[in-house]
């Protein structure tokens, strides 16, 4: 998640965390009558998004990513928006 990403990028990979089992978020949503699905393959995302957008009513889309995948853009703590990091080895000023 985001905390792991900060530990990787700013704290020399000194990880401090609690291991949590994967939740069945789609199953919970379905138990409440909400349409839902879980996507584990990148090739399936487009179709799942189309189904979610075409659905009348709420739709939970749980897209699973690798644990080590980072989320961009991000703004480091205490940084200005102009110091945004837009990729693993880039920032907004380099583009």
Average pLDDT rounded to a whole number, residues 65-73:
77
Q: What is the mean pLDDT of residues 58-66?
A: 93
Number of residues that make up the chain: 95
Q: Give the tens place of pLDDT for each residue, 70-92.
A: 777 888 778 898 988 887 765 54
Which residues partner with 2 through β-bridges? none
Per-residue confidence (pLDDT) for residue 31, from 0 to 100: 98
- Provide φ and ψ at 62, rounded to 5°: -100, 105
Phi, psi for 91 (deg, rounded to 5):
-135, 175
How much is the pLDDT for 22? 82
pLDDT, residue 80, reads: 92
Tens of pLDDT, residue by residue over 18-58, are 677 788 999 999 999 999 999 999 999 999 999 999 999 99
If you average pLDDT over residues 53-68, what whole number do you get? 92
């Amino acid at each position: 998640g985001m905390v792991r990403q900060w530990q990787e990028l700013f704290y020399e990979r000194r990880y401090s965390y609690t291991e949590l089992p994967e939740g069945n978020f789609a199953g919970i949503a379905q138990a409440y009558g909400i349409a839902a699905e879980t996507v584990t393959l990148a090739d399936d995302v487009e179709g799942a998004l189309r189904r979610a957008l075409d659905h009348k009513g709420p739709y939970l889309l749980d897209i699973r990513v690798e644990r080590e995948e980072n989320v961009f853009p991000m703004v480091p703590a205490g940084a200005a928006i102009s110091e945004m990091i837009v990729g693993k080895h880039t920032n907004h000023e380099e583009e």
